[in-house]
Amino acid sequence: METRGALRVSLVVMFALVQGCGIQVVPTSGPDLSSSGLAPAEPQTSSAPQTASIPQPSTAPLNDPVSTSFLPGGSPPEQAPAAPQGTGTTAALESWRGGKLPPAEFFSLLAPAVMEASRRTGVPAAVTLAQAALETGYGKSTIGDAKNLFGIKGTGPAGSVTVPTREVVNGRSVTVQGKFRKYNSWTESIVDHDKLLATGSRYARAMQYRTDPERYAREIHKAGYATDPAYADKLIQIIRENNLVGLTTA
C-alpha cells in the first residue's frame, strides 16, 4: 500500500511539473506520442497554408532598355544619351554611291531622310522626292561627286563644282557652265534644299500651299526654281505616277 501511495504521489508531482512547463498532452488518433514526451505542434491560426513570397517576372515592355523591378531602390543606372533621331534611317542612304535606280527603289532610299526634313520645315516630302528624281534622273547624275540631289547652284558646305548644264534662255535650250553646291552627304543636300525653300523669301508664297503638293510645285516654279517651262508639270507627273503623296503621308 505504501508503494502504491508513493507511486500515486510521484505521478501527481510529475503531472504538476508538466503543467507548470506549459506542455499539453493532447489526444491524437495518430501514433501515441505520450511515451516519448513529445506533443504535436499547435495548429496554424490561418485557414490557408502560408507560402514563401516569390518575386514575379517584370512586366516592363521588351523595348525598355532598363527594367527597375529588381534594382535596389528601384532606380535605374545612368544611361548613355539617346542617339539623334534619323541617324538610323539614313544609314542606307549614306552608303549609296550614286547611280540610276528603279523609281520605287530610289524613292524608298530617300524617303526616310526626306520625310524627316519635311517634319522639321513643312516642305512637302512628295515634291522633294519628285525634284530629286527629276534633277538627277533617278540617281543617274548627282553632279559628279557633289552629292547635289536638287541642282542647287552656288557654294555649299563642301564647296562647289562647275559643270556644263542645260538652261532655257529666251525660249531656247542652251548649254552653259554652272556652279553648283557641293555637300558632304546626301542628307546634307536634302536638309539644305528644305531650308532654302522654307526660309527663302522668293518661296514664301509657295509655303502657303505646303499641304497641297501639286499647287506647291507650281508655286516654286513660278518663283524661279527652274527655267524649264514644263518643270511643274513634270514634277506633278512624277508625283502622280509614283503615288508620292500616299508614300509620304502613310
Q: 202 CB contacts (<8 Å, ≥6 apart)?
A: 223, 224
Q: 249 CB contacts (<8 Å, ≥6 apart)?
A: none
Q: What sign does the dihedral 140-110-243-218 (CA atoms) show?
A: negative
Q: 185 and 157 in contact (C-beta within 8 Å)?
A: no
Q: 33 CB contacts (<8 Å, ≥6 apart)?
A: 39, 40
Residue 150: CB atoms within 10 A of its CB come to 23
C-alpha cell at 123: 516642305
Q: What sign does the dihedral 6-12-13-14 (CA atoms) show?
A: positive
C-alpha cell at 224: 524661279
- Catalytic residue numbers read 167, 192
Q: Among 2, 239, 1, which residue's Cα sits nearest to residue 126? A: 239
**Element (DSSP H or E) covering residue 131:** helix 125-136
| DSSP class per residue in 140-167 | T-STTTT--SS--BS-BTTBEEEEEEEE
Intra-chain end-to-end CA distance of the chain, in Å: 111
